[in-house]
């Protein structure tokens, strides 16, 4: 593999026209926690991984077996992307382009990014609200018709921003589901909120009881990855998500 | 023209130095472990927000007994926060078998960027996120 190349390796059949769900480390680790829970509830199996020298030389040990930290999981038509390491800010553009190209080659029916949008005093909110964004006006109108709240104005920064920007260029329909979340504390409640909305979007009933009950344990166990992710978020200037864009006509 | 170029150079140099400082800080943050077996303490994730009239400190203390939280201002620029865990935790309970050590509490010492009045500080806990509000001096 040459410098800066990104390979998406399939070790099992993935099939065409999947619904691809991305759960990458971001604010509150919302997407990652959500996809881990989804994978456990739908018995997802590992079907591939992402390899690149842009990623740090890390493997994750599970049951004594080294695994690539950036993996592809599948259950039926659902395909999930997860990363157990913070994605280096400098690697985000190439990795996201490779993902979007691959999702496009798979003729995915839908690309859904699960994540958080940081809000001040998140700890005072009982239940985080979820906002949606989409790759085209038609999809935004469809989401509105389904009763979803749209993230009308604001900035997105990071992997999902790259993926949402590239998706229409590759003819993909992409939806971003973003729950109000902590910036740098793991947020399982926000993960439960995005999974609720994902369930409505793709017609899937997801049991969220365990996620909510074990929320504090998840917050404790996810702190180290949150700390590393926070450093990469700072390098991406993620704080810009608190900014309000200038008015336009 | 040459004066403008010099000004640009100065700004670029300043920005370069600033980015260097930020990068060094981030590298330090990444290097530091949050687990301290020798003191049986876990360092919690924390934030400090400087607002016009007060400083707001938040500390994430999942699985802590919030009633046990103790906030002590060492001086007007330094605060120490502790809270007991609901139960003693060890690495094996996190399925980490190659490290030993147990943990009974959260502990963090935070340097504040501006002085505050500790005597008028208020403390609230929301689902094990501790919020300390202290008026600025």
In contact, B59 and B45? CB cutoff 8 Å: yes
Residue in chain B closest to A120 (alpha carbons) equals B49
Most confident of A211-215, B29-33, B91-95: A211-215
Of chain A residues 75-134, which have a CB less than 8 A from chain B?
123-124
| Closest of A178, A35, A184 to residue A116, by C-alpha | A178
Phi then psi for residue B125, to 5 deg, are: -125, 125
Count of Cβ atoms closer than 10 Å to residue A213 Cβ: 11
- Is A217's CB within 8 Å of B63's CB? yes
**Number of CB atoms found within 10 A of residue A62's CB:** 10
- Interchain pair B63, A220: CB under 8 A: yes
Which run of H or E residues covers position B77?
A: none
Task: State whether residue B76 is helix, strand or coil.
Answer: coil
Give bridge partners of residue B134 from the DSSP assignment: B55
Lowest model confidence (mean pLDDT) among A108-117, A236-245, B76-85:
A236-245
Q: Say if CB B81 and CB B132 are below 8 A apart.
A: yes
Q: How far apart are CA A159 and CA A67, in angstroms?
A: 22
Distance from the A216 Cα atom to the nearest Cα atom in chain B, whole angstroms: 5
Residues of A in contact with B94 (CB under 8 A): 221
Q: How does pLDDT run across A198-235, given as a tens digit for each residue?
A: 999 999 999 999 999 999 999 999 998 899 888 888 88
Residue of B14, B31, B110, B27 lying closest to A232 (CA atoms): B27
pLDDT tens for each residue of A71-84:
999 999 999 999 99
Cα angle A34, A37, A38; round to 5: 85
Predicted pLDDT at B8:
81
Inspect the interface and report whether the beta carbons of A227 and B45 lie closer than 8 Å.
yes
> Averaged over B86-101, what is the pLDDT?
86
Long-range contacts of B114-119, Cβ-Cβ distance < 8 Å, separation of 24 or more? B114/B50, B114/B55, B114/B77, B115/B76, B115/B77, B116/B54, B116/B55, B116/B73, B116/B76, B116/B77, B117/B76, B118/B73, B118/B76, B118/B79
pLDDT above 70: residue A240? yes
- Mean pLDDT value across chain A: 92
Strand, coil or helix: B79: strand
Position with higher pLDDT, A25 vs A2: A25
d(CA A135, CA B118): 50
pLDDT digits (tens, 9 = 90+) for A133-166: 999 999 999 999 999 999 988 888 889 999 999 9
Number of H helices, E strands in chain A: 8, 11
Q: How far apart are CA A246 and CA A164, in angstroms?
A: 21
- Three-class SS of residue A237? coil
Please name the member of A124, A215, A226 whose beta carbon is closest to the beta carbon of B126.
A124
3-state secondary structure of A70: strand
Position A52 scores a pLDDT of 92
| Chain mean pLDDT for chain B | 89
Instruction: Please list every residue in chain A whose beta carbon sits closer than 8 Å to the beta carbon of residue B131.
Output: 123
- Backbone torsions φ then ψ of A28, nearest 5 degrees: 60, 5
In this prediction, residues B24-53 reach a mean pLDDT of 86
Tokens 């809270």, located at residue = B83
By the CB < 8 Å criterion, does A65 face chain B? Answer: no
- Burial code (b: 16+ CB inside 10 Å, e: under 16) for B68-103 equals ebebebeeeeebebbbbbeeebebeeeeeeeeeeeb
B131 secondary structure, DSSP code: E
Asked if pLDDT for residue B44 goes beyond 60, the answer is: yes
Q: What DSSP string describes A176-234?
A: EEEEEE-SSS--HHHHHHHHHHHHHHHT-----HHHHHTHHHHHHHTHHHHHHHHHHHH
Partner-chain residue, chosen from A184, A217, A231, that has the shortest CB–CB distance to B30: A231
From chain A residues 185-244, the ones with a CB under 8 A of any chain B CB are 185-186, 215-217, 219-221, 223-224, 226-228, 230-231, 234-235
Interior/surface letters B51-62, b for 16+ CB within 10 angstroms, e for the rest: eeebbebbbbbb
Token pair belonging to A130: 């979820």
Q: Tell me, what's the pLDDT at B30?
A: 66
CB B69 within 8 A of CB B125: yes
pLDDT over 90, % of chain A = 75
What is the CA angle A108-A91-B49, rounded to 5? 105
């Amino acid at each position: 593999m040459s410098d800066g190349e990104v390979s998406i390796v399939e070790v099992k059949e993935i099939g065409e026209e999947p619904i691809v769900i991305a759960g990458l480390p971001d604010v509150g680790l919302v997407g990652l926690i959500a996809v881990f829970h989804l994978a456990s509830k739908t018995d997802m199996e590992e079907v591939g991984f992402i390899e690149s020298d842009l990623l740090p030389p890390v493997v994750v040990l599970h049951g004594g077996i080294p695994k690539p930290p950036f993996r592809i999981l599948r259950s039926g038509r659902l395909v999930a992307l997860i990363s157990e390491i913070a994605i280096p800010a400098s690697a985000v553009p190439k990795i996201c382009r490779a993902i979007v190209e691959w999702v496009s080659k798979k003729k995915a029916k839908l690309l859904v990014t699960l994540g958080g949008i940081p809000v001040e005093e998140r700890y005072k909110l009982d239940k985080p609200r979820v906002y949606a964004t989409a790759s085209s006006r038609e999809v935004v109108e469809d989401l509105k018709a389904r009763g979803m709240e749209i993230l009308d104005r604001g900035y997105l920064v990071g992997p999902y921003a790259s993926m949402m920007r590239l998706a229409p260029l590759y003819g993909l329909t992409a939806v971003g589901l973003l729950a109000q979340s902590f910036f740098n504390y793991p947020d399982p409640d926000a993960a439960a909120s995005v999974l609720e909305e994902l369930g409505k979007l793709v017609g899937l009933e997801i049991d969220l009881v365990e996620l909510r009950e074990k929320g504090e344990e998840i917050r404790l166990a996810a702190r180290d990855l949150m700390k590393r992710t926070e450093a990469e978020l700072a390098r991406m200037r993620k704080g810009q998500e608190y900014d309000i864009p200038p008015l336009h006509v | 023209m040459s004066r403008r170029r010099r000004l640009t150079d100065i700004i670029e140099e300043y920005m370069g130095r600033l980015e260097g400082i930020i990068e060094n800080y981030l590298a330090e943050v990444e290097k530091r472990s949050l687990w301290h077996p020798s003191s049986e303490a876990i360092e919690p994730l924390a934030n400090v927000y400087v607002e016009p009239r007060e400083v707001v400190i938040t500390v994430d203390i999942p699985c802590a007994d919030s009633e046990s939280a103790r906030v002590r201002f060492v001086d007007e620029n330094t605060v120490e926060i502790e809270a007991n865990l609901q139960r003693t935790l060890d690495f094996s309970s996190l399925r980490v078998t190659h490290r030993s050590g147990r943990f009974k509490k959260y502990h963090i010492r935070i340097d504040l960027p501006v002085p505050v009045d500790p005597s008028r500080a208020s403390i609230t806990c929301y689902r094990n996120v501790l919020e300390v509000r202290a008026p600025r001096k």
